[in-house]
Each structure stands twice: as structure tokens, then as C-alpha cells.
Structure 1
Amino acid sequence: MIPALYVAKTGLQAQDMNLTTISNNLANSSTTGFKSDRAEFQDLLYQIKRQPGAQSTQDSTLPSGLQLGTGVRIVGTQKNFTAGSLQTTDQPLDMAVNGHGFFQVLQPDGTTAYTRDGTFHLDNNGQIVTANGNALQPAIVVPTDAQSFTVGTDGTVSITTAASATSQVIGNIQTADFINPGGLQAVGSNLFLETASSGAPQVGTPGLTGLGTIQQNTLENSNVSTVNELVNMITTQRAYEMNSKVISTADQMLQNLTQNL
């Protein structure tokens, strides 16, 4: 009975962490460019009472043996980088990557972060920045006399001014992709950081070498499926209840044992 208590305890802990992952997905169902997480489970060490394949006699072996598991744990969370739906807006600074790739932004410490959130703004110098003030990279500054602002699918940024109706290019947006996006480190504020697991960023022109195109006046919605998350929440709740029932049953067996001794 005692081992069953500890095994069920690991089940409660794992399902509690799984519920935390699900609740974070649901909380970010309206977050621009958010990518959902999935908890990954792994069974713990086994106590080998009888080794599978051991000799039971000189001429025969054990077909399966006796192996007792010690529980479960969550070993990781896997980011789902499937694209969210695209929503058209009326803001010319709203952009979305239609396909693979991330926008590059410069953090205050000088490092580059990566995001799928294309909700951009202008700062007091006319530079394109995120909602937190991080500058888009490569840096693009929009002149104060700009009358129109256009971003092509290949990232070409052009404007027209009051003095000249002719379009003039003021910069080019480049996006980055990774060989293993799941290895990126999520740091909040819709930002990701490069890690040894993600590999080095492969920077290029949108629409070329496998990178997605840029869509202006568009934002990428969260890829969270609320229906799937609600179903996962129900199964998690039932698994938690069953592990609680195991603890209650083991406790009753121990109680009966102590009362009868």
C-alpha cells in the first residue's frame, strides 16, 4: 500500500502541472501570435523484481519478468508552432508572417529576440517598435512627412510623401527561421530567444528560401483550440480524481490493516 501512495502522488503532481499548461493556453487564446504548449509525460524508474529473459530453469527463460513502476513525471512542454488564423485589420503597421519565420526585435540589453506578434507602432523618432518599445530589426525609421506606408510581401517598406507622390523604399524587413523552433526559449511578452537546441537563426528575405511572406494590415491570432483545451482539461480532471481515489483506497487498506493487528 505504501508504494501505491507515492506512485499516486506523482500522478497528482503531473496532472497538476498539466492543468497549469492547459490553463496557460486558455488564458492566451486571444494573444496575438501565441503558440500553445503540450505537456509531455514520462514514466519513472522501474523496480525489477524478476528480470525479463532471466533463466527460470536451465532450458527456459522468463517471458516477461516482474517490473513495478514508480510513477510518472512531466519532462517537458512542446510548443506547437502551427500557424494561427490571419485577421485583417485597418492598421498599416500591423503585420503577420504567412508561413515560417519570426520578426526580429532588439532588446534593451542588445540581444535579438524573435516574435510572431506583428503589432507594431512608431516611437517618438518614427522608428518601428513593438508594444514594449523594442525596435524591429533591421531598423526602419518612417519620416514625419510620410503620407502612405506600404510593406510588400517580400518585406520591402516604401512610403510616399507630400512633396513627392513617387514611392520610395526606406528599408527591408527580414525574418528569421530556426531548424528547431521548439527549442526556442519563451521569455514572455510574445518573445522567444535562441538556444543551443533551436540552432542559429537563418535570416533571409520573406518569401524566399522557405520563409513565409509578410502580410500588411494583418495579425496572426493565437493557435490555441479552445475545444481541444477544454477536452484536455476534462481528461486531466478525471485522471487527477483517479489518482486521488488510489490514495484514498490505499489509506483505507492501511487503516484496515492497523485496526486488525
Structure 2
Amino acid sequence: MIIKTLASGASGMRAHQVKLDIIGNNIANVNTTAFKKSRANFAEIVRQALGDEGVPSVDNPRPEEGSGVMTVSIARMMEQGDLIPTGRDLDMSIDGQGFFKVIPIDSDDDQEYYTRDGHFFFNTDGILVNANGYEVEVEWNEEFDPAKYSTISVDEKGNIRGVRHSTDNEDQDSAEEPLGQIVLYAFPVPGNLFNKGNNLFMETETSGEPISEEPGTEGMGFIRQGYIERSNVDLATEMVGMIEAQRAYASNARTIQTADEMWERANNMRK
């Protein structure tokens, strides 16, 4: 019995250590653009029927005892974070469940990645890229040179338009020209995407295959130019969870300490 108590206490300490690690990572990323928090899910370890000796006689059901707790999964919470204005033309957020697709440039990595982080730039070659230098998938109408345009706008449907710089023969900038279209992607089970880091996700068998649509259709969400998405971490909730995990960890540690003291006393009595 004492050995089972030790095992139960140890399993509780392991499980709540995992929970503390996850909460710590969530808090560390509270200001990470479009970060999605995680949550540990626990389950009781298999129950075992008590022996007959010293147990009141019952046929059904027989008394049972638990064997502790285990971590069964770490779930990623994909709820949208708040959208905050930046006033920057190449900052874009998704008001909905979609993802941008980004692809490595000039690399042996031919993997396609998906992200909610819409902090974009034009590199020296005039390619729209994210902070990692990965090209953002855009359906351009023709070869695009950002140096030719004074302003670039993106509407909620992902339509990209630009205004050319004024020339010596013109008194003012020309009218807006259609330049291309941003395509968004969605997954049947986005919570099962693999988190590569750097705000990048990868398709998995359990996430389902990506579905591409224009923004605003099939629940993809709308593009919000000049905004970025904050993390969905709520500090108050995480701090409460941390206190609960710390107290549970300490309680399980005391369980082990008490069982050890009882074991020591039992051994001394035999002497």
C-alpha cells in the first residue's frame, strides 16, 4: 500500500511539473505575435480492485483504488488573439481561422509552412516575406516590383492594390492598380498542426489537408491590413493555473514524504 502511495505521489509530481512547464512557456510568449497557448490534459491511471483480505465482502462492484495520474495530451488552443493596430501597410492579421502559407527561398527545405503571424516585408529582390525570410504565397497578376509603387493596400478579401509613384509628366500619383490576391488556408483540425517554432506550423495526418480559399469565404476569415494578432494568452488565467499547479505539486511531494516516514516507522517496528 505504501509503495502505491509513493507511486501515486510521484505521478502527480511528474504531471504537475509538465503543467508548470507549459504554463511557463505560455507566459513567456505573452507578447509573441499570434502565439497559441497550450494546455495539459490529465487522466487517471488504471484502477485496481482491492484484495479480499481486510475488505468488507461485496460482490459487485468490488472496492477499487487508483494508481495516480498521467499526462495524456498537450492541447493547443487555437482561439484568435486580439487584433492591435500598428499603422504599417505590410502588417496583416486574419480575423478568422485561416493561415498564411510561407515557403522557404533558396533552401534545401522544400516544406510548406503555415502561420498566423502577418508581420511581412519586401526583401531586396522585391519578394514579400515573413520575419524568417520565407516567401508569402501571393497570386500576383504579373511580375511585381514594389519599388514602382508609393502605396500598397490590401482589402479584407485579400485583394492587393497599388498606386504608382508620380512621374515627371504627372502632377500626382496614378490611380490604384490591381496587383494580386492573398490566399488563405484552413485545416479540419488546426489544433493538431505541428508547431515548428518561429510562429510556423506544419501539416500532419491528424490536422487534415489544407483547404485554400480567398479571404472571407468558407470561414477563412478576413484580412485586416495595419493590424497584427496578439497571443491568446491570458495572464490572469495562467497565473491562477500556476498557483494551482504549484500547490498540487507541493501536496504530492508531502504525500511522498508522509509515505516515506510511515515506511520508516514500519521498518523500525520490525527491528
Smaller-chain TM-score range? over 0.9
Q: 1:247 to 1:154 in 2, by over 3 A?
A: same
Match for 2:3: what amino acid? I
Shift of 1:197: 0.5
Please say if 1:229 is aligned against 2:232. no
Q: For residues 176-195 of structure 1, what are the structure 2 equivalents within 5 Å?
A: 176-195=185-204
1:58-116 Cα deviation digits (max 9, x unpaired)? xxx73431222221111111111111111001210000000110111113412211111
Partner of 2:35: 34
TM-score (normalizing by structure 1) = 0.93
8 Å contact from structure 1 (residues 50, 67) kept in 2? no
| Aligned-residue offset at 1:239 | 0.4
1:167 matches 2:179: no
In the alignment, which residue of structure 1 is the partner of 2:59? 62
Match of 1:156 in 2: 159
Number of the residue aligned with 2:50: 49
- What count of residue pairs does the alignment treat as equivalent? 253
Work out the CA distance in 2 between the residues paired with 1:161 and 1:50: 84
- Corresponding position: 1:84 with 2:78: no
1:37/1:79 contact within 8 Å kept: yes
Aligned to 1:244, the other structure's residue is in SS state helix
Partner of 1:243: 252
**Which one of the candidate residues 118, 141, 146 is aligned to 2:149?**
146
Residue 229 of structure 1, CA deviation: 0.1
In the alignment, structure 2 segments of 5+ residues that lack a partner are 168-172
1:255 matched residue in structure 2? 264
Correspondence 1:113-152 to 2 at 5 A: 113-138=113-138, 141-152=144-155
State the distance in 1 between where 2:230 and 2:96 align: 13
Determine helix, strand or coil for the equivalent of 1:210: coil
Alignment match, 2:68: 71
Query: Matched residue of 2:153: which SS?
Result: strand
**Whole-Å separation in 1 of the counterparts to 2:230 and 2:73:** 25
- In the alignment, the residues of structure 2 paired with residue 100 and residue 189 of structure 1 have an alpha-carbon distance, to the nearest angstrom, of 19
Gaps of 5+ in 1: none
- TM-score, normalised via structure 2 length: 0.89
What's the CA shift string for 1:135-188, capped at 9, x where partnerless? 001365443121101011111111111246121122110000111111111110
Would you identify which runs of 4 or more consecutive aligned residues in structure 1 move more than 6 Å?
Answer: none
Aligned to 2:170: none
CA distance in 2, matches of 1:220, 1:50: 57
